[in-house]
Amino acid sequence: MYYHATDIEYARDILKEGFQPEWGDIGFGVYFFGTLGAARKYAAKGGWDGSLDQPVILGVQAPEIRPVYPDEISPEWPNPEDYRNIFFWEADEDEDEFLHPDRIEVVE
């Protein structure tokens, strides 16, 4: 099980349509945490930019989700150690694709 923290409005869309990929530090895709504790910590601080007002944590199972590889993490980032618990679904930005997990549920 992987965990994704998002706002309540996005969670509703994800439950209906799946995950829409976006750009992030590793590339174009969707990012997940490997533990519920890490997702909770992220949600409690309001996400990466502090704007997560009504956080929801989704539990997800999908074979396409992979770990972030050590060579994808820049030691010059302010928090490279945080990426050890990040998982990633990589998407093609030229395709209009969504991740439709085998299982998805609202955890919190």
Give the total number of structural domains in the chain.
1
pTM of the model: 0.90
Residue 67 has which token pair? 């770990």
- Domain range for 20: 2-72+79-106
Indicate if the pLDDT at residue 95 is higher than 90. Answer: no
Residue 102 is given by DSSP the state S
Per-residue pLDDT at 52: 87
Query: CA-to-CA distance for 56 and 9, rounded, in angstroms?
Result: 9
CB 53 within 8 A of CB 73: no
pLDDT digits (tens, 9 = 90+) for 18-75: 999 999 999 999 999 999 999 999 999 988 788 888 999 999 999 999 999 999 998 8
3-state secondary structure at position 29: strand
Write the Ramachandran bin of 105: left for phi over 0, alpha for psi from -120 to 50, otherwise beta.
beta
